[in-house]
Every structure is written in structure tokens, then in C-alpha cells.
Amino acid sequence: MSGEVKRDFDINPYSYALNTSRTLDPNEYYVRNYAPFNIMNELNNNFMDLNVLDSKFQAELKYRPISKLELAVLGAYKYSNTTQSHYIKDYSNQAWAYRAMDDATMRDANPWLYTDPDKANSLPVSVLPVGGFYKETKYSMNSWDFRATASYNDVFNDKHIFNFFGGMEANSVDRNETWFNGAGMQYDMGMLAAYDYLYFKQGSEENAQYYTVKPTSTRSVAFFGTATYSYQRRYTVSGTVRYEGTNKLGKSTSARWLPTWNISGAWNAHEEKFWKDLEPTVSNFTLKASYSLTADRGPANVSNSLAIVQSYNPWRPFTNVKESGLYIKEAENRELTYEKKHELNIGAEIGFLDNRINFATDWYKRNNYDLIGLVNTPGTGLKITKFANVASMKSHGIEFTLSTKNIVGQDFSWNTDFIFSHAKNEVTDLHSNARVIEMITGTGFTMEGYPVRSLFSIDFQGLNKYGLPTFINENGEKTVSDLNFQETIKKEHLVYEGPTDPTITGSFGNTFRYKGFNLNLFLTYSFGNVVRLDPVFKNQYTDLTSMPREFKNRWTLPGDEQKTDIPVIADKIKNQSDSQLNYAYNAYNYSTARVAKGDFIRMKEVAFGYDFPKKWIEPWKLNNLSLKFQATNLFLIYADKKLNGQDPEFFNTGGVAAPVPRQFTLTLRVGL
């Protein structure tokens, strides 16, 4: 495998705009997938509709047998249903491609035509002679929640404050996913289905399914209690204990049930008698600290407390020989347990000048362990990999918040809020092996001693004398195309670029008010991560392909390899002499040459509003009336020039993924 990620009939508007030549006439049709294609026609004939229904019913009863004790019972039911309807109409490129056989050359080359193996010397035919496709995916959820609690609050001598809270809760969640693929849907004939039996014959021979049903169930129970003591509101100590269990984890009692806890304390120094001498210069000061053990069930798709046995249809070479079978999807792991985290948190809050200036800081240190992931096995249970508690991680960070009231007047005010956060993490233990393709694509992977989402790259060694990119492969050799993307990674093989998660994040906001007018300017910033540039390089292109601006600096003549790292546009001779040249160009897309800094400062929001005066709206019997204009994601103030316009916050997952657009909103609020 060359490591290139692609999908058939992908019409993501972002991908189309990024990869398609600007010289194409938007009103003309071009050949794509052996059939006519026009993006405007395609958007009208190949699209998805999403319908969401979300409802929740909740009831709560409270009872006080005595003034200081409250008993409560809460019950809730939630139902949600999401339907994703994919309309692939009669005149879409995909429908046309399934019946594109204008001549013998096209007929023999079109992979979406069907050749009947039961008819000797038969020619390829269409399994979709009329109509298109209607695909529907439904996600439904039924959820029940029950909670019973008791709380007790008391004060002794106006000095000692006690709070106790405890109870239990039970949760039940049933999910169901269904998928259906309807072939031969004639949209222009009133949604009349006219399927061809050859479509199902081909699917049966390929052992494909045209509908699926996937039900899952989750059950959990928890018991909890909290106690808090405060002395004269100066010193506060609190403790929490929780004991919970779930059917998602191991059958072993020690794995399925887990006690978690938290202990914390705070000192409100401004409640001390000596503090009066510092006011209003220093108006308040609080120190706080906590230490806890918390847990998480892990990824939602992990559930092998028992061996997971599923049914399937074994492939057989003939459609008249069919049978069902069973296979072990996941071997039993009775020791699979919660992902756990110990966290130490120390913080402080301080206010100056009668709280005109407020500063808060929090420092934390976390140790995560028993993290769930895939691990290689000796092959027991007919599985070479299984989910297990395979990793540990440590992290630390600090957060600052500064809020100031710069100007406070009768008609004019100006407030500022500044937030700064710095965080780092490192995987300290990992019993897992990943392939090269997993380390260089997506949002990153990791190895022991690196951040949890790290980006690695193939080691680019410049261009050769023919303008072709060269690399260090998994064997430590310099090569053009002798690369294996499926090889298990070796530490010295790939180059560590940095984390894909930023280490520094924050925001800077200013709010101005003048009488009824208000203006909000809000900036966000992020630093410390790296971004993979869009994979735009290929070993061969068509007239439909766009040429990014990097191509202006590509290798064109011998000697250019000394001054550029942009490879040549490979000609037909180069592609014929190296049948794996696509490996080289895709390796270039995921090499050290195609990485940029993810640092940015963004003008996130500008909002301007006006609150109409009371005397204007009272004759209309209105309580309030306001108008607000809001613009979000306006522009980047700073970003790495190497991005060439690529959004540093956007990760292209395919499908309908697109960068966050600029948004403009006008809001009118009327209060009666």
C-alpha cells in the first residue's frame, strides 16, 4: 500500500476547491469516474440530509423530614434519533458511473460494471440500469437515569459549618444503529424503486451487505458521598468517595468495580481579622489545593468483559452455497479495567483595589495509568491484537486568568479578560506497536517518551539529480520509492516533529460600554504544536488537478535540487521506469518537508450591540429591546507562512469536513 488515503465519489466541497484546477469552466461537464461530472450539478444531485430528534423527560421529588435534611429522588428518560439520508440521484456522477459503457474501452476499464462469472465470455454490464441510490443510516438511543440522594446542612455557634451529601445512581443506555442501501431509486419517477437482480447477485458474490443492524447496551451503578467542613468560612476541608461499576469492563470484581475519591482544602485569607488592614488594596485572597483519583470507562467502542462472538456470512465462490458462521470478534479480557488518573491541583485567587483587578492561577500534575489501547498477543483466542490497559502518561500544566475593570464610569466602562494556559504531557509506558502509516497520518500517534499525540515524519533527504524526492526508509537506506508504509515503526526510522496538541492556549478579550452601546473584541491564540500540510503532491496529475503555489518553486532543471525541496512533476518516462513512484510522492506528503508550525493568533469574534433606552420602548409595553451584530472567525492575525493559507485549526477528515467559516449574525431580542 502506498499510504494514500482516498475515497470513491468524494465530493467534499473543500477537497474539490483545494484540488481542482481553476481553469475549469463551472458550467461545463468533464469526465470523472468514466462519467460526466460538474460540481454544481453534483451538489444538487448528490447530498445528505440530517434529521435530529432529541427529547428528555425528567421528574424530581424532594422531601424535608426535618429542616436540615433533604431527601430527593430524580428520574429521567431520554430518547434521541438521528437519521442521515444520502440522496444519490439519477443524474449524479456516481449513478452515471455505474452505467458508463459508451465504448468497448470504457466498458472494459470501468470498475463499477459487473461481469457475471456464471456466464462464460460475458461482457461487463450495469447493475444500475436506471435510477440512483438511496442510503439511510439511523442512530437511536434510549436512556434511563435514576438518582436518589440525601443532603444534610448544619451550622454550630455560627462558626462550624457542616455539609453532607450522599446517594446512588443507576444508568441504562441502549443504542441501535441501522444502515440501508437502496439501489435503483428513481427520483424522477416519484421515488419509485426499480432494482436489478444483478446488483444483489454481485453483492452476494462479494459477500457484501445492503443493510445492517448494530445494537449495544451500557449499564452502570454508582454510590457516592461528600462531606464538607468549614470554620468561620476561613478554612474549608472537603472529601468525596465514589464507588461505581459498569458492564463495559472486565468480569473480574476488581476490574468492574472501582472506588474513586477526592480530598480538597481552601483558606480564605480575606476572612482573617488581620486582613482588614490590607483592604481595599488587596481585597481578597484564597489558597486552595486538591488531590484525587478519578476514572473513565475508556473508549466507547471497547467492551470485551466477556468474549464478543458475532455472526457473519463466510465468503463462498458460488451464490447457491450460503451459510452463516460465528467468529470471535474480541477475546475475553476479564481484567480490563478503568482508565485511572491521580491529580494534584494547587491554586490561588487574589483581588486588588476592591476587586477591580482579579488574578487566578492553577497548577496541576496528573498521572494517568491503565489507559486502554490495542496490544499484540501471541494469537490466543484467534486474535493477534486485543484491547487492554496498556499505557501510562504524565502531564502537568499551569493556567492564569487576569480580569481587570480598567475604566468604571457612569456612562463608559472598559473591562479586559486575559487567559493563559500551558500544558505538557509524556507517555511513560506503552505496550503497543504501531505501523508507519499510523504514525505519520491523522492527528498523530505516540511512542514511549513522547507526547500522547505526536507527529512523526518520514526523513526527507532532499531531491536527487532528476528532481525526485529521496528518503531514509525503514532499513536505514536512502531511497526514492523503496518504502513500506505498513512496517512496524522503529524509533530511529521516523523523525519526531512535535505534538499536534498546542502546549500554549488562551484568549484576550475587551468589552467596551458607552450608555446603551457595547463592543466586544475577542482574540484567541495557540502555540507549541505542529501541523501536517495538505497532501497535494502526486506522481501524476490530470488537467483537472489544481496546482498549489508551491509548484512555482518546483525542480525543473538539473541543479535545482541545490535550491529547492519541491519535487519535479514526474513525466510518463519516470512513471514507467519506477512502478512505485506513487510511494515516493505520497511519502513526500508525509515527510519532514511538509510540516509547519500550528502557532496562530485569531480574531475570533467582534460583536457590536445596542440596548434601547427604557423610555423608548415603554410606550410599546416592552421590558427590553436590543440589537446585536456578531462576526466570528474573521481572520488570522498571525500564522506560519509555510501554511500558505491552510487553517492551522482545521484537520481534514474527509467526507463533509470543512474549515470553520466566517459567520455573521444579526440578533434582535424583544422582552415582553
| Average pLDDT over every residue of 533-557 | 87
DSSP classification of residue 619: G
Local confidence band at 166 (pLDDT 50, 70, 90 cut-offs): very high
Q: Which of 11-20, 529-538, 637-646 has the lowest mean pLDDT?
A: 11-20
pLDDT tens digit sequence for 258-312: 889 999 999 998 888 888 888 888 888 999 999 999 988 777 777 766 777 778 8
Query: Is-contact 547 21, C-beta < 8 A?
Result: yes
Q: How far apart are CA 355 and CA 342, in angstroms?
A: 34
CA 602 from centre of chain: 21
Q: Give the chain's mean pLDDT.
A: 88
Position 28 pLDDT exceeds 80: yes
pLDDT of the residue at 316: 77
For residue 555, name the pLDDT band (cuts at 50, 70, 90).
very high
At 644 the pLDDT is 84
Q: What is the CATH number of domain 13-531?
A: 2.40.170
> Is the pTM here over 0.85, yes or no?
no
Segments of 377-411 assigned E as strands: 385-408
pLDDT at 55: 95
Range in 30-34, 198-202, 378-382 the model is least confident about: 378-382
pLDDT average, residue stretch 165-179? 95
pLDDT digits (tens, 9 = 90+) for 412-468: 999 999 999 999 999 998 876 777 888 888 777 888 888 988 999 999 999 999 999
Cell triple for 436: 508507519
**Among 475-484, 534-543, 553-562, 644-653, the least confident range:** 644-653
The yes-or-no verdict on residue 654 having pLDDT over 60 is no
pLDDT at position 222 over 70: yes
pLDDT at 251: 64
d(CA 587, CA 77): 51
**pLDDT of 500-541, one tens digit each?**
999 999 999 999 999 889 999 999 999 999 999 888 898 888
Q: Which residue has the cell 463551472?
A: 26
Mean pLDDT of 43-71: 93
pLDDT number for residue 656 = 59
pLDDT score of 653 more than 70 = no
Q: What's the pLDDT score for residue 296?
A: 83
Lookup: cell for 141? 438511543
Which of 242-256, 334-348, 469-483, 510-524 is predicted least confidently?
A: 242-256
Which residues, other chains included, contact 428 with Cβ-Cβ below 8 Å and sequence gap of 6+?
392, 393, 394, 448, 449
Closest of 550, 456, 545, 558 to residue 499, by C-alpha: 456
What are the CA-CA distances from residue 554 to residues 332, 466, 597 (Å)? 54, 12, 22
Q: Is the pLDDT of residue 128 over 60?
A: yes
**Number of neighbouring beta carbons within 10 Å of residue 440:** 26
Domain boundaries, the chain: 13-531
Query: Does the pLDDT at position 250 exceed 70?
Result: no
Identify the band that residue 319 occupies on the pLDDT scale cut at 50, 70 and 90. confident
Return the percentage of the chain with pLDDT > 90, whole number: 51
Q: Average pLDDT of 350-360?
A: 91
- Spell out where 203-338 has E strands: 211-231, 235-246, 257-268, 282-296, 308-312, 325-330
Cell 463495559 appears where?
A: 248
- CA-to-CA distance for 488 and 449, rounded, in angstroms? 18
Q: What are phi and psi of 436, to 5 degrees?
A: -55, -45
Distance from the Cα of residue 229 to its chain's centroid = 41
User: What is the pLDDT confidence band of residue 398, given thresholds at 50, 70 and 90?
Assistant: very high
Phi, psi of 26 (to 5 degrees): -65, -15
Q: What is the pLDDT of residue 672?
A: 76
